[in-house]
Amino acid sequence: MKILALECSATAASAALCENGKIISSSFVNIKLTHSQTLLPMVQNTLSAAKCDINEVEGVAVSSGPGSFTGVRIGISAAKGIAAPGGLPCVGVSTLLSMAYNLVGTDCTACAVMDARCGQLYNAIFDITDGRITRICDDRAVTCEELEKEIKKMSQNTDKRVIIVGDGTNVFLPFVCDLPGVLPACEALRYQNAVSVALAADEMFKNGETVTPDGLLPVYLRLPQAQRELKLKKEGIV
């Protein structure tokens, strides 16, 4: 099965083509350009490099959040636009789960973090053993201090390395850099990537966890900033 995967939940953006669990082509950029400008040209380049026509794609995957509200919406909209004409099955992949797939070849505890601003992180924790990923907690928004306490306890009760992965690594690492067995993922494996979205999606397609293009929805763990500020004003806090 040929799966086209998209990722633009943060600053980086990427596209990947996967067939039966094997990545056959991908494109990645990590520059501050609008994803609406970069994503579809990368899709075209990814398909062209694999000599694959868009009509040969059998399923579409996209990181559905958490992440930048604008980025997630662009990714979801692009996935819908690609899948809708042919009624292709779709999967929305947790951005945090996809980052655990960056480390799938390493036995460890993967602590996926994204900078959620306002002193918070988007986070989920996964066990990786023999190439199998097991979720330890749900996707959530937490403070660095809350996650620090959890990782400190975890590092004391396991022999496994705890690897921090995601674009929130530089924000969170100072809180745990002195803990034994806790380390950051290398730069090459740190950021959100459509390759990992495709690998996660391959499992989801096999398990029948698909939706129609209309059923593909973003997942937000917090209200957008404008709505949060409006809520605070109504409550008389600001």
pLDDT per residue over 194-204, tens digit each?
999 999 999 99
**DSSP 8-state secondary structure symbol assigned to residue 194:** H
Q: Which two tokens stand for residue 114?
A: 């994204």
Helix, strand or coil for residue 213? helix
Distances 37 to 124, 150, 173 between C-alpha atoms, Å: 30, 39, 32
Confidence band for 145, pLDDT divided at 50, 70 and 90: very high
The mean pLDDT of 61-90, rounded to a whole number, is 96
In terms of average pLDDT, the best of 23-37, 132-146, 218-232 is 132-146
Backbone angles phi, psi at 7, to 5 degrees: -145, 120
CA torsion sign for 186, 9, 44, 17 is positive
Model confidence band, residue 237 (pLDDT cutoffs 50, 70, 90): low
- The answer to whether the CB of 155 falls within 8 A of the CB of 131 is no
Which value, to the nearest 10 degrees, does the dihedral of the CA atoms of residues 95, 216, 61, 74 take? -70
- Give the pLDDT of residue 137: 97
- pLDDT tens digits for range 213-225: 999 999 998 644 4
